[in-house]
Structure 1
Amino acid sequence: MTLTFFLHRTVSMTSQVSRRWRPRSLLQLVLLAFLVVMLPLAVLMFQAGEVLSELSQLANVSARQAVDQTRRARELSNLAVEMERSARQYAVVEQPGLMEIFSDKAEAFSKLLDEHQRLLPGNPDLIALRQQLDWLTGLPALTPEAVSEELDRFASFATHTEALRKATNRQIDNRIESISDRAGEVQRRLWLQTAALVSASLLLMLLFTWLIIRPIRQLERRILSLGSGAEPPLAHHIQGPAELVSLGERLDWLSARLNELEAQKQQFLRHMSHELKTPLASVREGTALLSDDVAGALSPRQREIVELIDASGEELQTLIEQLLDYNLLQHNQGVINERFDIATVIKEVLAKHQLALEKKGMQVIAHHQPLEWRADRSRTMRILDNLVSNAIAYGEDGGDLELRAQRRGRTLAIEVANSGEPIADEDRGQLFDAFYQGRARRKGALKGSGIGLSVAADCAKAQNGTLTLNDDDPLDVCFRLTLPWNAEAGNETNTPQARLTAVSNDARN
C-alpha cells in the first residue's frame, strides 16, 4: 500500500512539473534527457576516481613505509652483528680503534632504534634493546679482560634484535591486511553507489521515455480515432514538446475539417435522395395510372413499355436506398444483439424477393427448421437481402439457389450459393470494395451501384463476423457468412446442426 501510494505520488508530482514546465522543442527534451540521465553516471565516475586515487595514494605511502621499515630492521640486525664482532675483536687483539668502531655502530644503532620506536611504541623487545644498548655503550671504558667476560650478553642482544625484525614484518603484514580490508570496504561501497546511481539513471530514462512517448501515443490515439470515425467530441490536449503540440493542433484542425466535410456529405445525400425520390415517385405513380388504364386502354406493346419503365423506376429506387444504407452503415457502428430465428429471417428475405424469384424462374430450396442465434437481426437480414438481390441479378435464369446454415459451437455459418457464371479471378481481390463493379454483366434494366457486397461485409464486420467467398462448393458461386454468438453472459444449449437452403447472392453489384 505504501509503495503504491509512493508511485502514485511520484507520477502526480511528475505530471504537475510537466504541466508547469514544458520543453520548447523535442530536441531540447532529448538533450535534457541525456544530460539528466548522464548526471548520476558522472557522479559515479567522479566518486570512483576519488576512491581509486585514495587507494592508490594509501598503497603508495604504505609501500614506501614498508620498504623503509624493512630496511631499518635489516640495518639494526647488521649493526648488532658488527657491534658484537668489534667487541670480540677488541677482546682478542686489544686495539683501541676497534672500540671506536664499536662506539660508532652503537650510536648508529641508537638512532635507528629511536626511529623504529615510532613504528612499534611499547614493544618489549625494543625496550629491552634500549636497556641493553645503555649497558653496551659503557664497554669502551672497560679493559679487554672485562670486555671478554661480558661478551655472552651479545647473544641476548641478537635475540632481541631478531625478535624486533620479526615484529616489524608482522606490523607490515598487518598494515597490508588493513589496506586490503580498506580496499574491500571501498569496493562494496562503490558497488552500492553504482547500484543506486545506475538505478537512478534507469528511472530517469523511464521518466523521460514516458515524457517523450506519452504525447506520441496521444497523437496515435487521435489518428486512430480519426481513421475509425469514433473520435470523442472533446479530445485531450496534447502535452509535450512544441513540435508534438503543434502536430496535435493540426490534428484538431483536420478533425474539424473532416467533420465539416462529413456534414456537407450528409447534407448532400439527404438533398440528393429527396431530389431523386420526388420525381421518381411521380414517374412510378404515372406508370401505375397507365397500367390501370386510367388514361385509356393500352395496347400490348404500350403496356410492355410501361412495365419496363415501372421496373426501371423500382430498381432505381432500390439503388438509392442501397446508397443511403451504405452511408448510414459507415457512420452508425452501433450493434443491437438479440435472439432471433435464422429460418424466420430467411423466410422474410425470400418473401421480399418472391416476385423477382418467380420472374427469374430460380429453384429455391429453404430449410424451415428453427435455428436460434444471438446477433444483430437487422444487419444479418441486410446481409442476406443484399446476397439474395445479387443472386437474382447475376444468377442463371431457371438456375438453383441455396442457403445453408450450420452451427459449430459458438459460431454460425450461413452459405448462400447459386448457379451461374463463376466470379472471375481478377474480381476476387476487390469483391468487397465499395463501388467496385466486376466484369460480369448484370441481368436487368439498370447497372448496379457496386455497394451491395461492401454493405454486407461491413455488416458482418460490425458483428465481429466475416463474409467470404467459398470456392469449395458444388454450385458456381457461394458466399459464407460467419457470425459469433454475441452474448454478454450465459451458456447456450447444444442445438442440433441445421442445414438451410435458400437464396445466394452472387455479390457482383
Structure 2
Amino acid sequence: MGFPFYSISLTRQWALGMLLAVAPLIVAVGYAIWSMDKHNRRQNELVESTAAINRQMSALQELVKELERSARQFVVLQDARFEKIYGEKYAKLQEQAMALERNIGSAKMSDMVSQLLRVTHRSALSITSPDKRDAAPEQLSTPKGVEAEETLNEVVGPEFEANSLGRLTAIFNSAAEITSNITVLANDALNASLAEQKEGFRTTQWWLAILGLLALPASFVIMVIWSYVITRPLNNLSQTIRRIGEGELEGSAKVEGPEEFQVLGKRLEWLRENLELIEQQKSTFLRHVTHELKTPLAAIFEASALLTEEIPGPLTGEQRKVVEILFNNATRLQEMIQQLLNFNSVRLAAGGPRQSLELPDFLHKSIERYRSLANANQVYIEIPKTSIHVESDLVLLEMIFNNLLSNAIHFSPPGSRIALGWGKTEAEDEPAGWWLEVRDQGPGISKHDKEKIFTPFFQGDNKRQGATKGSGLGLAIVAECLRHLGGDIQVMDEEPNGTRFYISFTDYT
C-alpha cells in the first residue's frame, strides 16, 4: 500500500483509525467550547461595562444636582464653604464625565461631555464673587475647548447679584437637558453593543451548526476509508484461503498488511507449498498406477475377446454370461483409468495454443465416435446445420464435448433425442463470443445434485443407462477445461424432462 503505518499491528491500526474518526468531532466540540467561552467573556465584559456606565450616569446626574444645590446655597448664604464644595463637586463631575466618554468612545459623547462641562463651568463662574472673578479661571479647571476669559465676560455683568438665581436655573436646566441627552446616547451605545453581541452569538450558532453537520459526515467518511484500508488485507487473506481451498495453488499466498496478517500469510504460504508438493506426488502416483493398470487390463481384454470368439472351445450359456460380465467390467475399468488420466492431465495443464477451426467439422469426429453407442442405446442425435468459425484449444474443447455427449447418451432413455447447438453471442450487454449446448431427454438433475455435479467422483441420484457405470469424473473434467479456457457453464432443466448444458466462451478472433 505504501503507507508507513500499514505494517503495524492491527490493534494500533484500529486505535489510530478511531482517533482519526473522532478527530472532526473533537474539533467541533473544541470550537464550540472556545466559542461559548469567548461569548461568555464578551457577555461578562458587556455586563460589567453596562454596570459601570449606569453607575457613571447615576453619579453624573447626582453630581449635577449637587452642583446646582451648592451653587444656590452659595448665592443665598454667600458662604465661602459652599464655593469650595462646588469646586470639589465640579472636579468629580469632570472626572466622571471624562470616564464616561472613555467608556462610550464616540464623537457624539465627546461633544456632549464638552457641552456639559462648559455649562457647569459657566455656573461656577456665575457664582464667583466679584472680588474673585479674576481668579476664577485659575481656581476651577477649564474644560477642553472653553476659553475662560470669554466665559467670564459672558456671564459676569453689572447685574450679577440680582440675576444669579435666574442664571443658575437656566444653566442647570441646560445641564439637565445635556445630561438627559448623554443618558440617551449611553443607552443607545449599550443597545448597539448588545445587538452586536446577539449578532455575534447568532453567527457562532450558525458556524457551530455547519461544523456539526460537516463533522458527522467527515467522521463517517474517515471510518469508511479506514475500514477499507484495514479490511483490505483481510479480504486478500480470504481470497487466498478460498483459492487454496479450491485447489488453485499457483502464485504466492503471502499477505501484506498488519503484523498478524503477515504471520498468517507466511503460514498459508507454507501450507500452499506443502499442498502443491502433495498434488505433484498425487499426480505422479496416478500416472504410475494407471500406467501399471493398463498392461494387465489389456491382457484381460484380450482374454475376454478370445473367450467371446470361442477360440479355446465352445461356451455354454452360463459361460457366455460370465464372459460378458468380465468384458463389461473391464470396459468400465478402462474408462475410469482413461478418465483419471484425463482429469489429472487437465488439472496440471496450462492450456495449449488456441487454433482457428470450423466448429461443426471439428465436433463431427466426436459425434461419429459416439454414433455406435447412441445407436446401441436407441438414442437419436440432432445436429444443427449452421456453421461458425471459432478459436479454441483443440484438446480441451474435445474433452468438454466428449464428456457432455457421453453423459447425454448414457443418461438418455431408449427412443429419446439429444439436441446439439452452437452459435455466436448476439446479446448487446454481453461480450462477443460463442456458445455450445447439449440437451437430452433423460431424468434430469435434482436441485441438490446441481450444486455437486462438478465435484470429482460425485455421482447423483440418477444412474446411467446400461451395464457400464460412470466414474464421476466427466463433469469435473469439463469444469477444469472451462477454467483453463475461461468459459462458463450453466445447467438448466428441460421441459417436460431432461437437462440442458449451456457453455459460453469469449470470442478471441
TM-score by length of 2: 0.73
Aligned partner of 2:101: which letter? Answer: L
Equivalent position to 1:239, from 257, 263, 280: 257
- Mark the structure with the bigger radius of gyration: 2
Q: Give a deviation string over 1:107-146, Cα, whole Å, max 9, x none.
A: 4454143133034258233223323323323555558624
Q: Give a deviation string over 1:29-78, Cα, whole Å, max 9, x none.
A: 32343345545654654454344323312321222222221342244235
1:114 and 2:83 matched:
no
Q: Contact 1:393–1:444 (CA<8 Å) still a contact in 2?
A: yes
Q: Give a deviation string over 1:401-442, Cα, whole Å, max 9, x none.
A: 332426474354534324x66767876665555433345554
- The residue aligned with 1:455 is 477
Q: 1:170 to 1:303 in 2, by over 3 A?
A: closer
Q: 1:85 to 1:40 in 2, by over 3 A?
A: same
- The residue aligned with 1:214 is 232
Give the drift of 1:486.
1.9
Measure the CA separation in 2 of the matches of 1:305 and 1:61: 117
Q: 1:482 to 1:202 in 2, by over 3 A?
A: closer
Measure the CA separation in 1 of the matches of 2:187 and 2:83: 27
Q: 1:236 to 1:310 in 2, by over 3 A?
A: same
Measure the CA separation in 2 of the matches of 1:266 and 1:77: 114
Q: Contact 1:386–1:452 (CA<8 Å) still a contact in 2?
A: yes
Aligned partner of 1:246: which letter? Answer: V
Equivalent position to 1:257, from 274, 286, 299: 274
TM-score by length of 1: 0.73
Measure the CA separation in 2 of the matches of 1:439 and 1:84: 123
Aligned partner of 2:172: which letter? Answer: F
Q: Give a deviation string over 1:244-273, Cα, whole Å, max 9, x none.
A: 233223322322232233223222322221
Q: Contact 1:373–1:485 (CA<8 Å) still a contact in 2?
A: no
Q: Contact 1:316–1:446 (CA<8 Å) still a contact in 2?
A: no
Gaps of 5+ in 2: 130-159, 427-433
- The residue aligned with 2:118 is 131
Give the drift of 1:472.
1.1
- The residue aligned with 2:146 is none
Aligned partner of 2:113: which letter? Answer: L
- The residue aligned with 1:57 is 41
- The residue aligned with 1:403 is 419
Q: Contact 1:413–1:480 (CA<8 Å) still a contact in 2?
A: no
Measure the CA separation in 1 of the matches of 2:447 and 2:260: 48
Aligned partner of 1:471: which letter? Answer: E
Measure the CA separation in 2 of the matches of 1:358 and 1:154: 138
Give the drift of 1:280.
0.8
- The residue aligned with 2:298 is 281
Q: 1:424 to 1:124 in 2, by over 3 A?
A: closer
Q: 1:208 to 1:233 in 2, by over 3 A?
A: same
SS for the counterpart of 1:68 is helix
Q: Give a deviation string over 1:287-323, Cα, whole Å, max 9, x none.
A: 4556677x65555766775565445323321121123
Measure the CA separation in 1 of the matches of 2:116 and 2:443: 125
Give the drift of 1:352.
1.2
Aligned partner of 1:238: which letter? Answer: E
Q: Give a deviation string over 1:422-473, Cα, whole Å, max 9, x none.
A: 7678766655554333455544444322232443455557553324243315
- The residue aligned with 2:429 is none
- The residue aligned with 1:502 is none
Q: 1:451 to 1:101 in 2, by over 3 A?
A: farther
Measure the CA separation in 2 of the matches of 1:330 and 1:336: 16
Q: Contact 1:338–1:377 (CA<8 Å) still a contact in 2?
A: yes
Gaps of 5+ in 1: 1-10, 490-509
Measure the CA separation in 1 of the matches of 2:407 and 2:223: 59
Measure the CA separation in 1 of the matches of 2:282 and 2:256: 29
- The residue aligned with 1:227 is 245
Q: 1:317 to 1:372 in 2, by over 3 A?
A: same
1:487 and 2:507 matched:
yes
Measure the CA separation in 1 of the matches of 2:217 and 2:465: 74
RMSD value over aligned CA atoms?
Answer: 4.3
SS for the counterpart of 2:52 is helix
Give the drift of 1:350.
2.7
Aligned partner of 1:67: which letter? Answer: A
SS for the counterpart of 1:118 is helix
- Where does 1:143-222 land on structure 2 (aligned, <5 Å)? 145-151=162-168, 152-176=170-194, 179=197, 205=223, 208-222=226-240
Measure the CA separation in 2 of the matches of 1:385 and 1:131: 123
Measure the CA separation in 2 of the matches of 1:446 and 1:206: 59
- Where does 1:76-115 land on structure 2 (aligned, <5 Å)? 76-81=60-65, 83-84=67-68, 94=76, 107-108=88-89, 110-115=91-96
Q: 1:150 to 1:326 in 2, by over 3 A?
A: same
Identity %: 24
1:437 and 2:437 matched:
no
Q: Contact 2:390–2:507 (CA<8 Å) still a contact in 1?
A: no
Q: Contact 1:394–1:442 (CA<8 Å) still a contact in 2?
A: yes
Measure the CA separation in 1 of the matches of 2:491 and 2:194: 84
Measure the CA separation in 2 of the matches of 1:26 and 1:34: 12
